[in-house]
């Protein structure tokens, strides 16, 4: 789930964790991305709560299509994001009705794996071109707790079809069983956006 013109990414996180033993939601067999209706994330965006909730799940032959409703106190109306989750990857499909079709994660998650990012040129949308690269897995502390998370850096080299120099490096941290827990956009004055709380949906 994203929040700034790059196509917002959805963030998500489970209960706070600070010590051993490793909790169930960090175990190897836990899926990376929650897909249950009612799953809710609250993110801290410059001291404003951004609330995201899975409100609909459509079962496709080999994947699930998630509709996520987003609300912020600084915005009059909620809006929706669409994600497709399968055993192979997570794809950010739509921002409201705008096609995004950006792969966020590829499974299995492996350090140094990489793939192209290229948005279609569209009205009222900042299309980005670049490359995503998987980095290391590390402990990440956010208001919701401390999590083992893998970072993915998206190196953006074009905006709306025009090259930018220097490129922008946007970094997303993902925790198993949660999805993204932290985002840092490479923009002047931009502070990291972090998970504040997580409520799992009913399985």
Q: How much is the pLDDT for 23?
A: 43
Tell me the C-alpha to C-alpha distance, in Å, between residue 117 and each of 26, 69, 83, 98, 108.
28, 24, 16, 16, 19
Distance between CA atoms of 155 and 68, rounded to whole angstroms? 26
Radius of gyration of the chain (CA): 16
User: How distant is the alpha carbon of residue 78 from its chain centre?
Assistant: 18
Sheet holding 162-175, edge to edge: 98-106, 89-95, 79-86, 63-72, 48-59, 40-45, 193-199, 179-184, 162-175, 145-159, 128-142, 114-118
Q: Report the distance separating Cα 60 and Cα 123, nearest Å.
A: 29
Nearest partner of 172 among 83, 105, 90, 118, judged by Cα: 105
DSSP state of 62: S
How far is it, in rounded angstroms, from Cα 8 to Cα 27? 27
Given this model, what pLDDT does residue 25 score? 46
pLDDT (tens place) for every residue of the chain, 203 residues total:
554 333 333 333 333 333 223 344 444 556 889 999 999 999 998 888 999 999 999 999 999 999 999 999 889 999 999 999 999 999 999 999 999 999 999 999 999 999 999 999 999 899 999 999 999 999 999 999 999 999 999 999 999 999 999 999 999 999 999 998 999 999 877 778 999 999 999 87
Contacts of 156 (CB under 8 A, 6+ apart): 6, 117, 128, 129, 130, 164, 167, 168, 169, 170, 186
What is the rounded CA–CA span in Å between residue 80 and residue 106? 23
3-state class of 26 per DSSP? helix
pLDDT of res. 189: 73
Q: Which CATH number fits domain 24-199: 1.20.1080.10, 3.40.50.150, 3.40.50.280, 2.40.360.20?
A: 2.40.360.20
What pLDDT was estimated at residue 167?
96
**pLDDT on residue 73:** 84
Helix (H) or strand (E) holding 56: strand 48-59
| 7 contacts: CB under 8 Å, gap ≥ 6 | 92, 95, 100, 102, 119, 125, 128
Give the pLDDT confidence score for residue 168 in this predicted structure.
Answer: 96
Reduced to 3 states (helix: H, G, I; strand: E, B; else coil), residue 177 is coil
Tell me what pLDDT residue 190 has. 78
Residue 184, SS3?
strand
């Amino acid at each position: 789930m994203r929040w700034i013109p790059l196509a917002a990414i959805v963030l998500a996180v489970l209960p706070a964790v600070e010590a051993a033993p490793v909790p169930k939601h960090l175990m190897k067999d836990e899926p990376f991305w929650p897909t249950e209706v009612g799953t809710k994330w609250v993110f801290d965006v410059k001291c404003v709560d951004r609330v995201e909730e899975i409100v609909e799940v459509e079962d496709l032959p080999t994947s699930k299509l998630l509709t996520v409703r987003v609300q912020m106190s600084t915005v009059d109306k909620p809006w929706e994001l669409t994600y497709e989750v399968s055993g192979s990857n997570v794809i950010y499909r739509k921002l409201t009705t705008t096609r995004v079709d950006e792969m966020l994660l590829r499974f299995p998650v492996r350090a140094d794996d990489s793939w192209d990012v290229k948005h279609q040129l569209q009205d009222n949308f900042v299309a980005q071109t670049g490359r995503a690269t998987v980095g290391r897995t590390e402990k990440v502390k956010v208001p919701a707790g401390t999590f083992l998370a893998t970072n993915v850096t998206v190196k953006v080299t074009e905006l709306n079809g025009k090259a930018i120099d220097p490129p922008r490096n946007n970094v997303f941290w993902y925790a198993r069983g949660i999805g993204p827990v932290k985002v840092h956009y490479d923009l002047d004055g931009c502070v990291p956006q972090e998970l504040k709380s997580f409520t799992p949906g009913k399985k």
